């Protein structure tokens, strides 16, 4: 059973709640996270590893994280180990070097995933294996890899997969074919498409459903998480939130409407810990259980526009928005880009997230603002054409066949996207570049792999572009690159951003500021469920302000969808204030 969907829709909470419910019902369950930024440990309240760990307090439930770096280490040892006693140290070091790239990390994680999926002996002790997956873009790639690698190996006639990071794939083709068969078998695999009652999350669920059906993975269910019913008819925010959700579900695409569907109410508490998880499927349909926390006065930070005051002083540079999926990275990036353009700067707004749609967020054109996206397919073709053109004069027909076959490997896309990312950062030398990044796990792999990609690009016949060579110094320059960590005022997003901050610091990159988004704090809300959520934000707001961030901006939840330049400027300038009177979801002026 795979739980997938847009970042922030509640995949981990629902996967954990389902696993606990099945185990409590007498089934033996293995819960697996494929997300490089897994939150299973915090949600279950137990420290996990890459091997099944029994979850205290839940008989018959075990859990593990697929850790890409650990998987890559094991994979390297599987490939290099047999040669250590046979080859000179320099030759072994050379093989190690070839296996140090980001492609090896992806292959190794994929190898772990397929073993759990298709090797019956590995999961023989369990009735169910539940996969809590990374946000959609990363997961779609993971689920497509069995077909991609099977096809690559099937058509590989020249033996390039015996070299470099692909070496360990030899002998695994049977496992990959069995993985494909398991994914396509409705008696074995169920895809749970998790969504919020929001247009963007439903659109992503729709896209995921279609792409998986094209792969033959057709046994799907839909779970709509966070369905909200207003309790206080005088609360404008509550009425608007309910109306927005109902409107989105009324527009449910036909393909999603045809799936079996479960609605889960918006809860007044965060489902963390076994007690909270066990209450998820027992909560009243209005989600109002657990109300009554004492209210604590909160000193709220200023708006995003205050951060822009600092960002614009140098007249150029790169702004990166990072954080957990679903926290508002795209909206924050778009709002900063619009604010900078409105102040007269030349701005490029782009994204590394294959699932993001920055152009839809901007809506109308704005002088000085260009909008683009890194298109993996287009970048892969351009990169492959460039490599072949550079190498062709030195190659005979056999060599060209080898090179073309190597470039058909799924690894090529990772290198091509990385180069495009470096090129976008380089444009910050001549104006402002605002980059919306993919959710944490994928972004970490992108950044941590920078030097490894540099080596991989160097091994090809193409010259290393200046943008790649200068990428790390640019990212580490605090006068050039400003990283904004975006979070919701809740435990998991705050702690994931805190971990990301530590990872960035280890890479020599110091975050510029934090943005706390979609807050219900501030005392302007009377609906009991939303007010309770606002009260429970207090410790996380304090944690961000007092322990984690040098600068903080705060954005309240607001009825209007943040789409279009006028709304985005209001998003950047929002402060705590009484909500306007009684119209619902009025368009921005």
User: Catalytic residue among 5, 6, 7, 11, which?
Assistant: 11
Query: Is position 13 annotated as part of the catalytic site?
Result: yes
Q: For the chain, give percent helix, strand, coil, nearest 5.
A: 50, 15, 35
Phi and psi torsions of 281, nearest 5°: -90, 0
Angle at 152 between CA 67 and CA 447, to 5 degrees: 35
Alpha-carbon distances, residue 104 vs 76, 410, 453 (angstroms): 8, 11, 11
| Structure token pair of residue 567 | 């709304």
Q: Is the dihedral of CA 503, 504, 508, 512 positive or negative?
A: negative
The Cα 587–Cα 190 span in angstroms is 39
Query: Is position 11 annotated as part of the catalytic site?
Result: yes
| Structure token pair of residue 30 | 């293995």
Phi and psi torsions of 273, nearest 5°: 90, 155
User: Catalytic residue among 492, 527, 534, 565, which?
Assistant: 492
The Cα 322–Cα 327 span in angstroms is 9
By CB atoms closer than 10 A (0-12, 13-18, 19+), residue 102 is buried
Query: Is position 159 annotated as part of the catalytic site?
Result: no
| Structure token pair of residue 423 | 């090129």
The Cα 51–Cα 34 span in angstroms is 13
State the virtual CA torsion across 514, 518, 520, 524 in degrees, nearest 10. 100
Query: Is position 503 annotated as part of the catalytic site?
Result: no
Instruction: Collect contacts of 167-173 with beta carbons under 8 A, ≥24 apart.
Output: 167/79, 167/99, 168/75, 168/78, 168/79, 168/107, 168/108, 168/111, 169/107, 169/111, 172/111, 172/114
User: Catalytic residue among 12, 384, 409, 460, which?
Assistant: 12
| Structure token pair of residue 538 | 């207090």
129 touches 188 (CB < 8 A): no
222 touches 260 (CB < 8 A): yes
Query: Is position 10 annotated as part of the catalytic site?
Result: yes
User: Catalytic residue among 13, 38, 136, 380, which?
Assistant: 13
Q: What is the DSSP string of 242-307?
A: HHHHHHHHHT--HHHHTS-EEEEEPPSS---SHHHHHHHTTS-TT--TT--PPP------B-HHHH
User: Catalytic residue among 35, 111, 235, 353, which?
Assistant: 35
DSSP-derived pairing of the beta strands 220-227 and 513-519: unpaired
The Cα 282–Cα 278 span in angstroms is 7
Query: Is position 526 annotated as part of the catalytic site?
Result: no
Q: Is the dihedral of CA 207, 449, 468, 422 positive or negative?
A: positive
| Structure token pair of residue 477 | 């320059």
Beta strands in 440-576 (DSSP E): 481-487, 513-519, 552-556
User: Catalytic residue among 7, 8, 317, 326, which?
Assistant: 8
Beta strands in 330-418 (DSSP E): 347-351, 369-371
Residue 517 has what DSSP assignment?
A: E
User: Catalytic residue among 4, 5, 7, 10, which?
Assistant: 10
Residues identified as active-site: 8, 10-13, 35, 492
């Amino acid at each position: 059973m795979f739980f997938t969907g847009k970042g922030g829709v509640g995949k981990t909470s629902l996967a954990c709640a389902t696993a606990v419910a099945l185990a409590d019902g007498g089934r033996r369950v293995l819960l697996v996270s494929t997300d490089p930024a897994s939150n299973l440990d915090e949600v279950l309240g137990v420290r996990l590893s890459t091997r099944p760990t029994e979850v205290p307090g839940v008989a018959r439930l075990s859990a593990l994280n697929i850790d890409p770096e650990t998987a890559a280490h094991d994979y390297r040892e599987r490939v290099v180990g047999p040669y250590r006693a046979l080859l000179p140290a320099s030759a072994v070091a050379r093989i190690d070097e070839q296996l140090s790239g980001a492609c090896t990390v992806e292959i190794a994680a994929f190898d772990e995933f397929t073993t759990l999926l298709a090797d019956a002996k590995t999961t023989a002790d369990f009735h169910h294996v539940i996969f809590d997956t990374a946000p959609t873009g990363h997961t779609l790639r993971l689920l497509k890899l069995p077909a991609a690698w099977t096809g690559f190996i099937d058509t590989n006639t020249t033996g390039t997969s015996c070299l470099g990071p692909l070496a360990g794939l030899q002998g695994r083709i049977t496992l990959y074919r069995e993985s494909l068969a398991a994914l396509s078998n409705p008696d074995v695999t169920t895809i749970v498409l998790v969504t919020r009652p929001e247009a963007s999350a439903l659109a992503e669920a729709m896209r995921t459903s279609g792409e998986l059906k094209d792969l033959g993975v057709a046994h799907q269910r839909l779970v709509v998480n966070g369905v909200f019913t207003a309790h206080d008819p005088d609360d404008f925010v509550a009425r608007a939130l309910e109306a927005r959700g109902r409107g989105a579900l009324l527009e449910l695409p036909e393909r999603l409407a045809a799936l079996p569907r479960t609605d889960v109410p918006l809860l007044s508490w965060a489902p963390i810990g076994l007690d909270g998880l066990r209450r998820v499927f027992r909560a009243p349909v209005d989600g109002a259980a657990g109300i009554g926390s004492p209210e604590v006065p909160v000193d709220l930070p200023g708006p995003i526009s205050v951060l822009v005051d600092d960002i614009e002083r140098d007249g150029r540079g790169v702004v990166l928005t990072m954080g957990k999926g679903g926290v508002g990275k795209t909206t924050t990036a778009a709002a900063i880009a619009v604010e900078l353009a409105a102040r007269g700067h030349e701005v490029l707004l782009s994204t590394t997230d294959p699932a993001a749609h920055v152009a839809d967020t901007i809506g109308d054109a704005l002088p000085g603002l260009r909008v683009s996206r890194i298109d993996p397919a287009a970048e892969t073709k351009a990169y492959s054409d460039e490599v072949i053109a550079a190498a062709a004069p030195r190659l005979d027909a056999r060599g060209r066949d080898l090179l073309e076959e190597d470039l058909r490997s799924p690894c090529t896309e990772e290198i091509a996207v990385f180069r495009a990312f470096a090129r976008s950062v380089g444009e910050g030398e001549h104006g402002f570049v605002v980059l919306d990044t993919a959710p944490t796990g994928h972004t970490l792999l992108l950044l941590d792999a920078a030097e490894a990609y540099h080596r991989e690009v160097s091994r090809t016949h193409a010259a290393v572009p200046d943008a790649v060579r200068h990428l790390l110094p640019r990212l580490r320059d605090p006068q050039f690159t400003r990283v904004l960590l975006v979070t919701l005022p809740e435990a998991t997003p705050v702690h994931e951003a805190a971990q990301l901050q530590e990872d960035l610091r280890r890479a020599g990159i110091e975050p510029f500021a934090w943005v706390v988004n979609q807050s219900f704090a501030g005392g302007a809300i009377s609906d009991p469920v939303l007010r309770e959520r606002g009260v429970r934000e207090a410790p996380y707001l304090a944690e961000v302000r007092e322990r984690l961030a040098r600068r903080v901006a705060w954005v309240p939840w607001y009825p209007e969808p943040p789409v279009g330049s006028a709304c985005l400027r209001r998003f950047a300038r929002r402060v705590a204030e009484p909500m306007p009177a009684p119209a619902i979801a009025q368009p921005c002026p």
